[in-house]
């Protein structure tokens, strides 16, 4: 992963995949000291906390030169090799890639301070938080996502994936494309975020087998059931995200009967009957572009095909979204046939789990030293570690890098961006 055998990060080293500034030719990020980040976040105060999850907490901060940042602070003294790997992977990927639709890395901190090992990643702060917070969370009732903004999110996110899959070297598979990992800047431009699960793909490698990590509902079936990961897995997840953006529905929803239904099972009969307008989020009140809707649904239907080899790559997806001529090959778009979507159900034992569960394959303690070789290993995904994110759960883990926790008035007074999200709009946790 890293090009250096070891790299100093403050007074410590990031094990299992060090990041070297000389390996990426990017001078816009740097190593922060614990003291700097402690001061910027008001001592990691509760009033500056943006959210928290199993990894730790995220804090809003401001540097002496006025830059607003978000600091992802991992829980101290619990840095297993697995957590260290995810930390190193995210820093490595963020340091390698630069694109207007990828969340920027401002730097990181790795060392010993305050009597504990500290691991922190510093991002640009995104004032409009995550896409999920506007579709299903604390800002869902505000109707800030009109059709033009939704199309902008779709196009920008697609172009970000083109960069990861086809322009970055080595290619990068995100593995966790979902609404909570698409952040929105002050102009509602999308930035794909959270690269802790990302895979760097060596040249000539088409797919790998690995432990299953991600969120049920977005996971490609071959990945969810057998751990087979490739760029086509991101394509599938993006297809689900497009349907979610158009419809305002969750990838998996619980029916009044208690049964669970995927978004593709809901959309399939409507598309089959040509009732494309019925898929549009009612909150838009009929204000959408019919031609763009048809292009988005055509792209989505191709992306969520059950067989990964039939899915288009992200360059073809962008062509479809732009209305440009496509390839004649099966699954590549560019034909005049009516849109058809074939929904794919997960195996019963997966659908029996909670709605929106985040999956992370079980890891034997004796296998921790073999993490770097997991791409070449057949790993069982039968046993999973589940983190319940139910439909009525308002835990900040639902909201990706920037959580759903309200920012108190003291912080809002100092921050014009945060101020707009205060008061009655804040979710009470």
Instruction: Give the residue among 105, 66, 82 at the shortest CA–CA distance from 17.
Output: 82
Q: Are 82 and 34 in contact (CB under 8 A)?
A: no
**Taking 90 as the threshold, does the pLDDT of residue 272 lie above it?**
yes
**Which 3 state secondary structure label does DSSP give 57?**
strand
Q: What is the pLDDT of residue 220?
A: 94
Which run of H or of E encompasses 242?
A: helix 231-247
- Chain segment 31-90, per-residue pLDDT in tens: 999 999 999 999 999 999 987 766 778 899 999 999 999 999 987 655 566 677 778 878
Residues 285 and 265: their CA atoms lie apart, in Å, by: 23
Measured over the CA atoms of residue 122, residue 127, residue 131 and residue 134, the dihedral's sign is positive
Is 73 assigned a ligand-binding role in the annotation? yes
Residues 310 and 332: their CA atoms lie apart, in Å, by: 8
Instruction: Give the residue among 402, 147, 428, 189 at the shortest CA–CA distance from 291.
Output: 147
Residues 225 and 240: their CA atoms lie apart, in Å, by: 17
**Which of 93-107, 152-166, 343-357, 414-428 comes out lowest in average pLDDT?**
414-428
Structural domains of the chain sorted by starting position, each given as residue range(s) with its CATH number in brackets:
8-125+405-419 (3.30.200.20), 131-387 (1.10.510.10)
With 0.85 as the threshold, say if the pTM is over it: no
Q: Which residues are part of the catalytic machinery?
A: 176
Please compute Rg for the chain using Cα positions. 21
Residues 86 and 64: their CA atoms lie apart, in Å, by: 29
Q: What is the pLDDT of residue 253?
A: 92
Average pLDDT over residues 12-33: 50
**Taking 80 as the threshold, does the pLDDT of residue 380 lie above it?**
no
């Amino acid at each position: 992963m890293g090009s250096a055998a070891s790299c100093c990060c403050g007074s410590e080293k990031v094990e299992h995949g060090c990041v070297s500034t000389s390996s990426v030719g990017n001078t816009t990020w740097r190593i922060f000291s614990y003291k700097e980040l402690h001061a910027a976040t008001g001592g990691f105060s509760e009033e500056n906390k943006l959210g928290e999850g199993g990894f730790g907490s995220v804090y809003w901060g401001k540097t002496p030169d006025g830059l607003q940042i978000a600091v992802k602070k991992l829980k101290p003294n619990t840095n297993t090799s697995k957590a260290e790997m995810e930390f190193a992977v995210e820093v490595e990927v963020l340091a390698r890639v630069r694109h207007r639709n990828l969340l920027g890395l401002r730097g990181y901190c790795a060392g010993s301070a305050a009597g504990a090992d500290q691991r922190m990643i510093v991002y640009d702060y995104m004032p409009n938080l995550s896409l999920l917070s506007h579709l299903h969370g604390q800002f869902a009732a505000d109707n800030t996502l009109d059709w033009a903004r939704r199309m902008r999110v779709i196009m920008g996110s697609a172009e970000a994936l083109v960069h990861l899959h086809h322009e970055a070297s080595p290619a990068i598979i995100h593995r966790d494309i979902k609404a909570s990992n698409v952040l929105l800047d002050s102009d509602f431009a999308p930035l794909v975020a959270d690269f802790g699960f990302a895979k760097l793909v060596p040249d000539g490698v088409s797919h790998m087998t690995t432990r299953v990590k991600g969120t049920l509902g977005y996971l490609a079936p071959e990945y969810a059931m057998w751990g087979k990961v490739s760029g086509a897995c991101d394509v599938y997840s993006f297809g689900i995200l497009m349907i979610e953006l158009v419809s305002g529905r969750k990838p998996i929803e619980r029916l009044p009967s208690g049964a669970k239904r995927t978004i593709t099972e809901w959309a399939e009969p409507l598309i089959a009957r040509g009732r494309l307008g019925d898929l549009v989020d009612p909150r838009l009140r009929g204000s959408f572009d019919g031609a763009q809707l048809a292009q988005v649904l055509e792209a989505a239907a191709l992306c969520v095909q059950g067989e990964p080899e039939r899915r288009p790559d992200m360059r073809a997806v962008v062509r479809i979204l732009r209305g440009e001529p496509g390839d004649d090959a099966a699954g590549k778009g560019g034909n005049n046939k009516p849109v058809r979507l074939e929904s794919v159900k997960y195996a019963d034992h997966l659908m029996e789990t909670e709605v929106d569960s985040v999956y992370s394959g079980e890891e034997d303690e004796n296998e921790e030293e073999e993490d770097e070789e997991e791409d070449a290993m057949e790993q069982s995904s039968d046993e999973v570690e589940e983190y319940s994110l139910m439909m009525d759960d308002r835990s900040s883990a639902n909201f990706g890098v920037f959580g759903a926790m309200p920012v108190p008035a003291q912080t809002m007074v100092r921050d014009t961006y945060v101020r707009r999200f205060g008061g009655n709009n804040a979710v009470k946790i």
